[in-house]
A and B are shown apart, each in its own frame.
Chain A
């Protein structure tokens, strides 16, 4: 049985209030905050990027890991803000972690589901016996054009999952994926900011794929929403995950622990992975978690996890080091709009 062996999460300390962004563009702050359901979002430091954030998350994931960095035999980093178009983030991370040379490294891109695609691929390698331990990372310093709607939600964070077969804290009971060619959001090579198709990003994109993957997985496993203790969905804003949970038949209580978007916005490839970590931080042994990511372009990766008695040890270590998602959420300092523009390299 393949599963999560340990995990690490990193949210940069800086935050900007959506109200401050709105005021800069002479929009009504109340209106913006109300329509998106988010108060503030995380902002990377000027000298942070997807590489440094992926590395932080990876380092954290190794503190509770009982093995050594050289045990890692597959290392995938999913992001839509890899600093290089050619030159892998995964090997920079691997080298600095001390992973040695005997591992498969790959960088993935698939908008906000680049990280979860890596999780499924590595799970497959482990199940096939080709690899014993793998590290799947989702990390982003998401970019957005000033004055565009995405400016209110695009955030930064990184999450790393060590996957394996031994001493797992969450079993991967089942998984599936749902893909199509749906151009709801894209960024051309060499172009700085992404573009999107407005309201098209809703029903035919996010909802169609999340519901598509979720339904398929439930059917395959003969399970229903009531069988789960928690659910996690990709969080592009405060409304979509709540909406899709309701549509699929999940309750507010099942969803609430995962809603990191409310506090830090949408860190793209790290979004659903962070939601999962947030649930793991508070779950008890023997609980089931239903998780579906979404990446524009488009696709959704769906997972069913079941926690084990190995979980509390890891959570305790994270708590002692102030690395729980809730602890990182409250460790914050605000920047104003000019500071935000500087730190995201727009001025």
Chain B
């Protein structure tokens, strides 16, 4: 998602989600990351229940004990992946244990 136009269109969605809280439903720890994510690996990808909907997001500032069903998390904004040298920086939604 490194198109400046797509990033711009997505801002309202991020602003709307920021700060919302939910609970972890299921998870994995990615050990072999896709391109652009190697600096963050290994990291958990979790499904989060937000009362009215669910999202899939990366879990940050985590430890193994946080990977349990029902663990409370909140939505934060971080860099999604490593930006290229000259390209726009992709900020997006992740979740962090409360």
Contacts and interface: CB of A to CB of B under 8 A. Distances in A.
Given A46-B40, A83-B89, A96-B18, A52 B77 contact: yes
Contact of A56 (B14, B15, B39, B76): B76
B85 to A, nearest CB: 11
Interface string A96-130: 11100000000000000000000000000000000
Given A45-B61, A333-B63, A96 B14 contact: yes
Interface string A75-103: 00000000110000000100111100000
Contacts of A333: 61, 63
B54 interface: no
Interface residues of B, number: 18
A59 B18 contact: yes
B19 to A, nearest CB: 6
A52 B78 contact: yes
Given A95-B15, A342-B39, A47 B89 contact: no
B45 interface: no
Nearest to B78: A47
Interface string B70-98: 00000011111000000001010010000
Interface string A37-60: 000000001111101100110010
A13 interface: yes
Given A45-B61, A96-B77, A333-B63, A51 B91 contact: yes
B79 A96 contact: no
A97 B79 CA distance: 16
A77 to B, nearest CB: 14
B68 interface: no
B11 interface: yes
A96 B11 contact: yes
B25 interface: no
Contacts, number: 45
Interface string B38-81: 01100000000000000000001101000000000000111110
Interface in B1-59: 11, 14-15, 18-19, 39-40
Nearest to A343: B39
A51 B78 CA distance: 9
Contacts of B40: 46-47
Interface range, A side = 20 to 34
Contacts of A56: 76-77
A47 to B, nearest CB: 4
A48 B78 contact: yes
Contacts of B89: 49, 51, 83-84
A333 B60 CA distance: 13
A92 B91 contact: yes
Contact of A47 (B15, B19, B79): B79
A97 B39 contact: no
Contacts of B39: 46, 342, 345
A327 to B, nearest CB: 13
Contacts of B94: 47
A56 B76 CA distance: 8
A331 to B, nearest CB: 9
A12 B14 CA distance: 21
B15 A55 contact: no
Residue from B15, B77, B80 whose CB has the most chain A CB atoms within 10 Å: B77
A328 to B, nearest CB: 12
Given A92-B91, A333-B63, A49 B79 contact: yes
Interface string A215-259: 000000000000000000000000000000000000000000000
**5 tightest CB-CB pairs across the interface, nearest first?**
A47-B78, A47-B79, A96-B15, A13-B61, A98-B15
12 contacts: A13-B61, A45-B78, A46-B40, A47-B60, A47-B79, A47-B80, A47-B94, A49-B79, A49-B89, A52-B76, A55-B77, A96-B15
Given A48-B79, A98-B15, 5 more contacts: A46-B39, A48-B78, A96-B77, A96-B91, A345-B39
Interface of B: 11, 14-15, 18-19, 39-40, 60-61, 63, 76-80, 89, 91, 94
